[in-house]
Amino acid sequence: MNRLLVAALAAGTVRAVLPALRRRPPGGARVWDRTNHAGRTVSLLEGPAVVAGCASVLVVSPTAAAAAVGGGAMGLLDDLAGGAGSKGLKGHLGALRRGEVTTGAVKVLGLGVVGVLAAGSVDRGRWGGSTLAGAGLVAGGANLLNLFDLRPGRALKVTLLLGLPSAAAGSGVSAGVVGAGLAALPEDLQGRTMMGDTGANALGALVGTALVEQLGARARWTALAVVVALTLASERVSFSAVIARTPGLRELDAWGRPRS
């Protein structure tokens, strides 16, 4: 299927689903309202709309669509049932060691299962080190993208930077990533909606699956090393602080947001 059509289908799905959800939010608007970094109330309904857009890549890759929906489901659990206690991978794993099962820990384990199933499907059940790297790339990508969802539009910009080269190289799945990301960007930049774990995990899993479909063994391990390094760095370093003091990154991060 033509990549432009896949991108258009993903974008059209997001643009159709988001206003429908905002008109009739499941469980009521308060279920989905959160307070962002600036103290403003924003809606998490963008997340389910993004998942729907990601799922439209079913037309080119059922495996990628399933990975996105699975990642989104794990994120939705954390968005709606998660507490404010343990934060980050270290926090959730620490809680597990104390015998406390957090929704974040369930999400991490669930994303691992999603990654294994997606990579196994791409490799048609031929398990090996390369498939293991692929599984880590899907799960790690879903988690990593969520770590960037701290300011309006930031995670979506990262998504587009990752998806555009892959789509240009021929990936229909990445074309879907670009379409869904672009469609969600306007409201996200304005601070009216946000993806939350639901949308970020879905898009991250989709990006990861696209890479697994395109990369060989060595490239998978290299990509996974980058994902792991950034994830570990996030436990010690604030991405927001690094971006704020880095010329170029600072301007790209701020692009499109209203000036306060």
Residue 49: name the closest of 89, 5, 19, 92 by CA: 19
Percent of the chain with pLDDT over 70: 92
79-87 long-range contacts, CB within 8 A, separation 24+: 79/44, 79/47, 79/196, 79/197, 79/198, 80/31, 82/197
Domain ranges (residues) in the chain: 3-254
pLDDT of residue 73: 96
Please check the confidence at residue 224 and state whether its pLDDT lies above 70: yes
What is the 8-class DSSP label of residue 38? Answer: T
Q: How far is CA 120 from CA 224, 232, 237, in A?
A: 16, 25, 33
Neighbours of 15 (CB within 10 A): 17
Q: Residue 33's beta-bridge partner residues?
A: 43
Helix (H) or strand (E) segment spanning residue 51: helix 46-55
Q: What does the pLDDT look like over 147-164, one tens digit per residue? A: 999 899 999 999 999 999
Please check the confidence at residue 247 and state whether its pLDDT lies above 80: yes
What gap in Å lies between CA 211 and CA 169, rounded to an integer?
Answer: 11
pLDDT of residue 96: 61
Percent of the chain with pLDDT over 90: 78
Chain mean position to CA 227 = 13
Query: What does R_g of the chain's alpha carbons equal in angstroms?
Result: 17
pLDDT of residue 206: 96
pTM of the model: 0.91
Mean pLDDT of the 54-58 span: 97
Residues in the chain: 260
